[in-house]
Amino acid sequence: MTDRIEQLADQMTLDEQVAILSGEDFWSVPAIDRLGIGKLRVTDGPNGARGGGSLIGGVKSASFPVGIALGATWNIDLLKQVGVALADEVKSKGAHMLLAPTVNIHRSVTNGRNFECYSEDPILTAELASAYIAGLQSQGIGATIKHFAGNESEIERTTISSEIDERSLREIYLVPFEWAVKKAGTWGVMSSYNKLNGTFTSEHNWLLTTVLRDEWGYDGIVMSDWFGSHSTAETVNAGLDLEMPGPTRDRGNKLIDAVNAGTVSRATLRRRVVDMLTLMQRVGSLDDHRDFVEHANDRPEHRALIRRAGAEAAVLLKNNGILPLKGDGTIAVIGPNAKTAQIMGGGSAQLNAHYRISPWQGLINALGQERLRYAPGCTNHRFEPLLRGDLQVAYFDNERLEGAPVHIGTQEEAQAFWIGHVAEGKVDPMHFSARITGSFTPEVSGTHRVGIYAAGFAKVFVDGELIADAWTNWTKGRTFFEEGCDEVVGTVELQAGRAHQVVIEFATKDFATLGLAAFAAGIGLPLGDQAIAEAAALAATAETAIVCIGRSGEWDTEGSDLPSITLPGRQNELVAAIARANPNTIVVLQTGGPVEMDWIGSVAALLQAWYPGQEAGNAIADVLTGAAEPTGRLPQTFPARWSDNPTQSQDAEIYPGLDGKVRYEEGIFVGYRHYDRHGIKPLFPFGFGLGYTDFTLSDLQVDDTAFEADGAVTVTVTLTNSGARDGASVVQLYVCDDEASDPRPEKELKAFAKAWLKAGQSTQLTLRLDARAFAFFRPQSKHWLLENGSFTLRLGQSSDDLPLSASVTRATTLMLPV
C-alpha cells in the first residue's frame, strides 16, 4: 500500500468510499472526479476481450482457443504468450481488467462450461493459469481468476450449494486459485454464483478471508460474479470488495446505512476501499481519464498466435497411418461442422470474432478446392438455425406492445441479448416490448421447424399465423443462463423461393437472478435418411473422407449442462455410414469434452480439435496436412461410456443435484483418479495424444538428497525423438504414496514438461517436486502432511503409459502449513 492510496482513502467521503465498491454500470466502476480518481473498466474473457457490448454483435475482437483447448497444449510458455496478447485485446477495448482465466475443475463430463476450463487436474490447471495470469499482468492488465469456488456445473448454479469436504477443496478445487495468488500474484478473484457448504461464496468469510487473505496472503480484490451478490453487510464483512454489475442492488444507500448502524465497521469499509484503490493503481485506472473508445484491432501477430495455438491444441487420438494427408486424390468433406466454423463455446465467453475460418475453408486454403467435395450429411444444432436477414425492430415503452413505437431499429439476425442500454435509452431495459419483422425465403419446399426461446415472453408468426408460442405457457428452462425457457418449436409448410413474412413479438418478464432480456428465433428444414445416403455415396467416390462432427456453443455453454455425451442428432449414424463407404475415413471432432464413440473401431483416424478460435479451419488443416505437428494431449479423460464418469450415480444429489444441493461424494477421486480407483478403462486416458513421430524415454535419475530435510526431489530424464519428423512430446511425472494413512489416489500428476525436438534429437529434462507434491491435507489439524515411508515416482507420456519408475523414502513425517 502506498502513501497515495492511504491519503486518497482518508480524503474520500463515506458516499465516495461506498461508490467505488459497486459497479456504475455493467462494465465499470465509477470515477471520483473530486479526487481525480479515474473510472475502472473490465471486460469479459477468457478466450478474447469482448468489450462493453452485448453477448451478440458489438465491436469485433480476436477469438482465441477456448480453455480446454489451451489445456490440451500442456504448454506453459504458450499460455504466457496468450496472456500477453490478450492484454493487447483488453487495451483495444478501453478496459483495465479481463474477467479470466476460468479454472474450475472438470468434475463431470457434462458440465456445460468445461470448454472454458483447462483440465480435470489441479496441477495442470494451476500451471497453465499461472502462466496466463503472468502474461496478462506483465502488460499492466489485471487478471480476475474465477469462479471461487465450487462452480463445477451449470445446473441451478446461482442458488445451488456445492457440498465439498475441506480435504477435497484443498487438494483439488482450490489449488489453481492458491497458485494464482502465491505464484502468479493475481490482482483479481471473482466469487462464484453458488453456495459452498450452505453459504453463498460472495459472503463466505472462511473462503474470502480465512483462506484467501489470511492463509494465502492475497492482496488483490474480490469481485462478485454478475448479480452474484446477495447481501450488504455480509458480503463486505466476509471480504467481497466489489459488487458487480451496476447500478447496485446491495450497496449504495444500503451500505451507508449499514456503516451508520455499525453492522459494517469503518475499518472494514476502509480495507475494502484500499483494496480497490490499490487495484486501480496497479492497472493504471487511477489516473486514466481518457474517453472510452473501443477498437477492433485485427493484428497479424494475433492471427498467427491463434493459428499456432489452435493447431497445438489438437489431439490426435487415432491414426492408422492415413495422416498426415498424402497424395492428390479427391477428398469428401462431410458433416455439420464442415462448412460451419465452430470457434468458441456459449455464454459470457462469446464475442464477435474478426472472422471465422471453417474446416472447409481451411482445407481449400491448404489444398485448393479442386480436390474437395462436400455433403452436409446431417445436422447437429440444439436450436433451429437462426433466422438472418434485414429485420426491423419496433420498441415500445410498455410490456404490451401498445401505442406508437418509441424507437425503430434494425438487426441482421433474429436474436438479441438486451442488457443495460436498450433502444438508445428510450425504454426501461427490464420493462419494454418489441416487435421484430422480417422474412424468410426457403431454398426447398417442405415442412419447416420454427423455434423460439427467450428470457422474456415471445411468439413467432409466419404469414400471420402463430407458429411457436413461448408466451402463453412460459416455463423456465436451460437457456440464457437459466433465465430463459427451453426452445418451443412449431411446424409450418413453406414454399421454395417465396418470401414468407415472419413477425416475432417479445415482452420482458420478471427475472430470477440475472437482470437481462433476450430471445432467439430460427427456422430449419430437417435432414433425413437421404442426406446421410448422399453423403455416403459421395464418400464412396473419394480417396479420403473427412467427417467434421461434434457440438457447438449451443451445447457447450454457460448456463446449461449437457444432457449426455452422445453426439447430437444423427452424427453417429453419419460416421458409421461414411466409414462403411470409405475405409479411409478421418473424423475431426469439435466439442468441449468427450463423447461416446461406438464407431471408433471403424475409422482410420480421429482428431479432437475442440473450439480453437477464429483460425479454426486453418489450424485443423495445418494438422491434417502435416504443416503442423499434432502435439496436444488430453486434459480430460475420455470415458468409453457416460456411466463411467466420476459423477454418475443413482443418487441425484451427487449429480445433477437435489433439493438445492450437489454433493461431491467422490471427494478427491475426480478425473483419472476415479478411473484408477475403480479399475475402469477409459476410451482415451488423461494426458494421451499421438503424433506424427515417436518419442522414447530413458535414463531416469532421481536426486532425493534433500527429501528427508525439506521434501524436495529432482528428477531428470532423457527424451528422444526416435521418429523421422520433428515434433514434441509432454513428459508427465506422477507421484504415488505407497502406504498412506488416509485414502489417496493411485497416482497424481505433480510435474510435466513439453519439449520440441528435431528427428533423432535427444534432450535431458529436469522436473522438480517440492514437499507439497508428496503431501495430503489433514482437515482435523489444518495442515499438509508428508508422511514417512516410500513413494513411487512414475514417468511417461500419459496417465496410462508410465514406463519409468523410481522410489524415494523418508524416515520422518513433515507437517506443512496451509
Q: Give CA–CA dist 641/678, Å, rounded.
A: 14
Of residues 225, 275, 561, 676, which has the active-site annotation? 225
Beta strands in 207-300, from DSSP E residues, in sequence order: 221-223
Q: Which three cell numbers stand for residue 519?
A: 430471445
Q: Which three cell numbers stand for residue 431?
A: 420493462
Q: How many CB atoms lie within 10 A of CB 790?
A: 12
Q: Residue 203 carries which side chain, given as an amino acid letter?
A: E
Tell me, yes or no, if 225 is annotated catalytic.
Answer: yes
The closest alpha carbon to 500, from 463, 446, 445, belongs to 463
The answer to whether the beta carbons of residues 634 and 603 sit under 8 Å apart is: no
Residue with cell 475431426: 588
The answer to whether the beta carbons of residues 538 and 375 sit under 8 Å apart is: yes
The answer to whether the beta carbons of residues 439 and 417 sit under 8 Å apart is: no
Beta strands in 155-220, from DSSP E residues, in sequence order: 161-163, 188-191, 195-196, 199-200
Residue with cell 504415488: 736
Q: What is the DSSP letter of 111?
A: -
Q: Give CA–CA dist 667/86, Å, rounded.
A: 35
Q: Give CA–CA dist 242/276, Å, rounded.
A: 8
Q: How many CB atoms lie within 10 A of CB 85?
A: 21
Q: Which three cell numbers stand for residue 389?
A: 436477414
**Buried b vs exposed e over 611-647: b needs ≥16 C-beta within 10 Å?**
bbbbbbbbbbbbbbbeebbbbbbbbbbbbbebebbbb
**3-state secondary structure at position 253:** helix
**3-state secondary structure at position 636:** coil
Q: Give CA–CA dist 151/111, Å, rounded.
A: 10
Active site residues: 225
